[in-house]
Structure 1
Amino acid sequence: MTETAASRGRVVRQRLLQAARELVPERGWTAVSTRTVADRAGVAPGLVHYHFASLQALLAEAAVGALGEMVDGVGALLQQARTPVELVDAIAAEVDRYTGTDPASLLAVETYLAATRDPDLRERLTGVLDDFRGQVGAWLRERGVPDPDATAAVLAAVIDGVLLHRALTPLPAAGVAGVLHRIVEGGDSR
């Protein structure tokens, strides 16, 4: 089977995105260069700008794509959980997979920081957050949780905060889950 130029281009593009996903947590957003991404992807540096408008566009697409994939996983949690408490427990278990210093956590932290200085990245990252909040808020609304949209926003902020704190000091998700139970139950502390 003959490989087409388009399929080779898709492969190169994916390799560049994967390289960016790896390098941002390893080096930090601002320390990633066109050359380092190209070297990691095993391609010529000129291909970075052939496939992406800029290095920042590549980094943004890689990071937002990775974070979007993480948010996509919330759908499975929403389908499995029967009650708000079960949802909180499932989210806490998911958060326990991350140490705060693992590549996914560092990618999230670096992306948030870069978004404070890049309005386009901020808008794209806000879209990922809005997706999470929207899915969780709708699910909470169906179960009669008071102020479901604000509750979903607080859940998102707590998840981000726990991951951020874990990079400095252990913060077990199980301890956080008890507090979140009270929030989703409207003050009842089972």
Structure 2
Amino acid sequence: MPEATATDRGRQVRQRLRVAASELVPELGWAGVSTRLLAQRAGVAPGLVHYHFSSLHALLREAVLEVMRELLGQLATRLEQTDSLDAGLDVILGSVGACTDRDPTSLLFAEAYLAAARDEQMREALAALLTDLRRTVAHWLNRHSHPTPDHTALVLAAALDGLLLHRALDPGLTPARVAPVLRRLLHLHGDE
């Protein structure tokens, strides 16, 4: 087996740093992650953090956005495979149903939103992800002949975010509790 090149080793270190960051942000909060802790978790020397990334915040941003993109990509794939509005709503609510008030994914999303309030690059990146999510949901709604796919996608995306954030404060707020209201929304066929 050929020996890894310097480029391959660099990619591996960058990936280990991103994975460590995506684990530490939910555990400690955005501000609680230090270069030393991050390097220790990734099993690399602290100097490699700044060798591979322009700053600790750039690394945290990249790591968190990578996780969020992957999760939203999985949601898009699953939505594309649905054969009805109800099945799609089940997919959307199922993605939230796995989240609790203290699970790493929910905490990561909450930390990302908080960071975006103070970091313009993070805000722009999250806004782009949100636009992609809305576009995905609107495409799914349109594919199932929903009369107002764009506007309904806005509401569903906001409901999804709200449900994630509210569950941190009210673990009893389950997808099952909001499903009937969202199902009615999907089946409204009147004027806007």
Report the TM-score, using the length of structure 1 for normalisation. 0.94
Q: Tell me the equivalent position of 2:147.
A: 146
Alpha-carbon distance between aligned partners in 1 of 2:101 and 2:134, rounded to the nearest angstrom: 22
Separation of aligned partners in 2, 1:94 and 1:135: 15
Contact 2:147–2:189 (CA under 8 A) maintained in structure 1: no
Q: Give the letter for the 1:123 counterpart.
A: E
SS in structure 2 of the partner of residue 117 of structure 1: coil
Q: Specify the alignment match of 1:156 in structure 2.
A: 157
Instruction: Judge conservation of contact 2:80–2:140 (CA < 8 Å) in 1.
Output: no
| Other-structure match for 1:111 | 112
Q: After the TM superposition, which residues 6-45 of structure 1 pair with which residues of structure 2 at under 5 Å, given as runs?
A: 6-45=7-46
Superposed, 1:39-54 pairs within 5 Å as: 39-54=40-55
Residues in 2 aligned to 1:40 and 1:120: alpha-carbon distance in whole angstroms: 25
Q: Which runs of 4+ in 1 moved over 2 A?
A: none
* 1:76 counterpart SS class: helix
**Kept after mapping to 2: 8 A contact 1:101/1:166:** no
Q: Is 2:96 aligned against 1:101?
A: no
- The residue aligned with 1:179 is 181
User: Which residue does the alignment assign to 1:56?
Assistant: 57
Residue by residue over 1:11-64, the C-alpha shift from the partner in whole angstroms, topping out at 9 and shown as x without a partner, is 100010001001000000011111111111111111111111111110000001
How many residues matched? 188
C-alpha distance in 1 between matches for 2:163 and 2:143 = 27
Further displaced range: 95-104 or 16-25: 95-104
Give me the CA root mean square deviation. Answer: 1.4
CA distance in 2, matches of 1:124, 1:172: 28
**How much has 1:165 moved relative to structure 2?**
1.5
Using the TM superposition, give the Cα deviation of residue 187 of structure 1 relative to its aligned residue in structure 2, in angstroms.
6.4
Aligned partners of 1:187, 1:138: CA distance in 2, in Å? 17
Instruction: Describe the SS at the equivalent of 1:43.
Output: coil
> Mind listing any 5+ residue stretches in structure 1 that lack a counterpart?
none
Question: 1:72 deviation in Å?
Answer: 0.2
* TM-score normalised according to structure 2 size: 0.93
Q: Deviations over 1:78-102 (max 9, x none)?
A: 2232221221112112211111310
Q: State the AA in 1 paired with 2:183.
A: H
> Which sections of structure 2, spanning at least 5 residues, go unmatched?
none
Deviation per CA, 1:141-184, whole angstroms, max 9, x where unpaired? 23222321121121111111111111122211012111111111
Query: Does structure 2 retain, via aligned residues, the 8 Å contact 1:85–1:185?
Result: no
Identity of aligned residues (%): 51
